[in-house]
Structure 1
Amino acid sequence: MRKKTQLIHGGITGDERTGAVSVPIYQVSTYKQEGVGKHSGYEYSRTGNPTRFALEELIKELEGGHAGFAFGSGMAAITAVLMTFNQGDHIIFTDDVYGGSYRLVSKVMNRFGIEASFVDTSSIENIEAAIIDRTKAIYVETPTNPLLKVTDMKKVSKLAKSKGLTFIVDNTFSTPYWQNPMEDGADIVLHSATKYLGGHSDVVAGLVVVNSQQLAEDVHFVLNSSGGVLGPHDSWLLMRGIKTLGVRMEEIESNTKEFVEFLQGLPEITNIYYPGLESHPGHEVHKQQARGNGGMISFDVGSGKKADQVLRNVKYFTLAESLGAVESLISVPAMMTHASIPADRRTELGITDGLVRVSIGLEDIEDLKEDFLEALRK
């Protein structure tokens, strides 16, 4: 089954009892049992819900995994995965990881004795050098947020397997339409499904896919114990969004390529970060492991003052924290998504005050170019 077909016909479709084409929203908290311990497979909606299960089966198939799990947010999904580790365990993370992930690891999970090192995972040598005897996992974003660095997943997988480590990939930027990390050896794949998978700025959700029964049991135990599950209505909304993921990602891909070409012609713009550019350091690796380049672009406008001017004057780019929506979004990572990272650390990484991140949407590309240019030169 090809991707566009799988997005619509994958997982559990419709309702056999009524013939409904759409999976029903099972807005229910508990289920009648025939006797003590005798139930239809559902006993309490924190543990399992039919609508949520349909979504979990869909993402499992889209990523080619063993089992899927749906959480109340991307951060809840990441938290659950990290909670499968133990006190004293050490995890290697991509250095310019999403600010919320950095905050979770450095300000919350460290309280429970889970340690982390942040390295540039685009270099396999950096990862290897960071491994210690207590290292249990390697966690990467590829492409990263916001500098769009690319990590060679096959190389990391080979290293992880040789050391007995769990390989975790945040696939939010590429989505399963463009990239499937499990094909390159990932053990766990994460999504902030709030972004491209939902696609309409109307649902907050997180998804996890694992490649083994043991990992499935570990993640489900945390999900059931901590309770950060996705509700049935949001599960239904997310499935509805996923049905159009293919057509959205292809149109976004086309718009983004044209917007990058437009940026290259502007003398005010420097340091364009986009894996589709041949000049991008990770271009060749990304081309080998992904089918598309996505809709995320970061670039420098020169200063925080100039960035503020642009953000104040755009009309069709929405100033917002998120990404992956039908509407184009714009942000300054240093002041927004990555503000939780200390200023000196942001400088070290290259997340300058003038760095602007855009998520290209489905508007007419000529309107987007005209809008940005007017705001830049106002």
Structure 2
Amino acid sequence: MRYGTKILHNGNETDPNTGALSIPIYQVSTFHQEDIDRPGKYDYARSGNPTREALERTIAALEGGTYGYAFASGMAAVSSVLAIFRPGDHIIAAEDLYGGTYRILTRFFCEFGIEVTFIDATDVNAIEKAVRNNTRALYLESPSNPLLKITDLGAAVDIARRHNLITIIDNTFMSPYFQRPLDLGIDISIHSATKFIGGHSDVIGGLVVTKREDLAKKIYFVQNGYGAVLGPQDCWLLHRGIKTLRARMEIQQQSADKIARWLKNQPWVEEVFYPGLESHNGYAVHAAQATGAGAVLSFKTVTEKVAKSIMKNVKIWSVAVSLGGVESIMSYPVKMSHASMPEEERRRLGITDTLIRLSAGLEEVEDLMEDIEKGAILV
């Protein structure tokens, strides 16, 4: 079965009780037990819910995994995965990652004795050099947020296996449609399902997938113990969103590619970051480990004034936090996704006041480019 068909036919699309072509919303907190000595599959909805299970099994199938877990948000998913580690453990993390992940690592988990070292993950030698005796995991994003840096996942996995490290990746930007890290040897894949999985800017959720039974047991223990589960209505919305994943990702990627190539030729643009461009430093590596470049790109304008003029004057683009919706979203990382990162760290990484992140939606791409240009030429 080809992947586009598998999105719609993976064994979780039909209600087994009625044959309905949409899994019902089981809006329930608890379940009657016919025999207390032989409890049924479901007992309390925090521990399991049929609607959530259908979503979890679907994302597991689409990621090439065995076990899937749905959480109340992307950060709940990230935090729950990090919660499987113990005081004294050391984690190596990519330095260019989502600001919320940076914040939770440096301001929350550090308080519980978990150490972290941030490295340039595009340099696999940096990963090797950062390994300590107490290192337990390698946390990656590829493409990274917001500069779209690429990590050689196969090489990273090889290093991690030599040192018995758990490999974790935030796969939000690519979605399983364009990149399936578990097939490359990654142990745990995380999604902010709020983004491309849901695809309509109407639900917040997080998803985690693994093939490893030992890790699955730990993640489920945290999910059930913390209780940061995704409610059945939101699970249903994500399940519905997945059904149009192929169509959305294909069109949105086409638009992102056209916008990136157009931006490269504009006099008010200093630099464009998009792994689909042949000039991108990680172009060849990304092409070897993913089937597409995705719908997210970033660019730097020649001045901060140009950047702010664009964001102030656009009419079609939504200026907002988040990405991955059917509407095109323009974001300002220094004030939005990476506002929690210290200014000196942002500057060191190149996250400047001139940087704009784009998430291409389903509008006509010519209208999107014209909308950006109108704001730029007003300066």
TM-score (norm 1): 0.99
What corresponds to 1:184 in structure 2?
184
Write the deviation string for residues 146-179 of structure 1: whole angstroms up to 9, x where unpaired: 0000000100111111100001111100110001
One-letter code aligned to 2:229: V
Q: How far is the alpha carbon of 1:37 from its aligned partner?
A: 4.3
CA contact (8 A) 1:105 1:116 kept: yes
Q: How far is the alpha carbon of 1:260 from its aligned partner?
A: 1.2
Q: How far is the alpha carbon of 1:225 from its aligned partner?
A: 0.4
What corresponds to 1:143 in structure 2?
143
Distance 1:21 1:375, change over 3 A: same
Write the deviation string for residues 204-239 of structure 1: whole angstroms up to 9, x where unpaired: 000000111111100000000000000001000001
**Segment drifting more, 345-354 vs 6-15:** 6-15
Write the deviation string for residues 25-71 of structure 1: whole angstroms up to 9, x where unpaired: 10000000113242320000000000000000000000111200000
In structure 2, C-alpha distance between the alignment counterparts of 1:270 and 1:327, rounded to whole Å: 26
For structure 2, the 5+ residue unaligned runs are none
RMSD (Å), alpha carbons: 0.9
What corresponds to 1:350 in structure 2?
350
In structure 1, C-alpha distance between the alignment counterparts of 2:263 and 2:11, rounded to whole Å: 40
What corresponds to 1:208 in structure 2?
208
| SS of corresponding position for 1:228 | coil
What corresponds to 1:302 in structure 2?
302
Write the deviation string for residues 300-358 of structure 1: whole angstroms up to 9, x where unpaired: 11333322211110011101110011000001101111011111111100001110101
In structure 1, C-alpha distance between the alignment counterparts of 2:38 and 2:318, rounded to whole Å: 51
Match runs of 1:18-33 below 5 Å: 18-33=18-33
CA contact (8 A) 1:32 1:39 kept: no
Write the deviation string for residues 101-150 of structure 1: whole angstroms up to 9, x where unpaired: 00010011111111111111011111111111110000000000000000
One-letter code aligned to 1:123: D
In structure 1, C-alpha distance between the alignment counterparts of 2:331 and 2:77, rounded to whole Å: 24
Residue 171 (1) aligns with residue 171 (2): yes
TM-score (norm 2): 0.98
In structure 1, C-alpha distance between the alignment counterparts of 2:306 and 2:339, rounded to whole Å: 18
What corresponds to 2:7 in structure 1?
7
What corresponds to 1:92 in structure 2?
92
Residue 53 (1) aligns with residue 53 (2): yes
In structure 1, C-alpha distance between the alignment counterparts of 2:177 and 2:377, rounded to whole Å: 36
Match runs of 1:133-282 below 5 Å: 133-282=133-282
Match runs of 1:57-68 below 5 Å: 57-68=57-68
CA contact (8 A) 1:14 1:24 kept: no
In structure 2, C-alpha distance between the alignment counterparts of 1:128 and 1:194, rounded to whole Å: 33
Aligned-residue identity in percent: 49
* Corresponding pairs, count: 378
Distance 1:311 1:37, change over 3 A: farther
| SS of corresponding position for 2:169 | strand
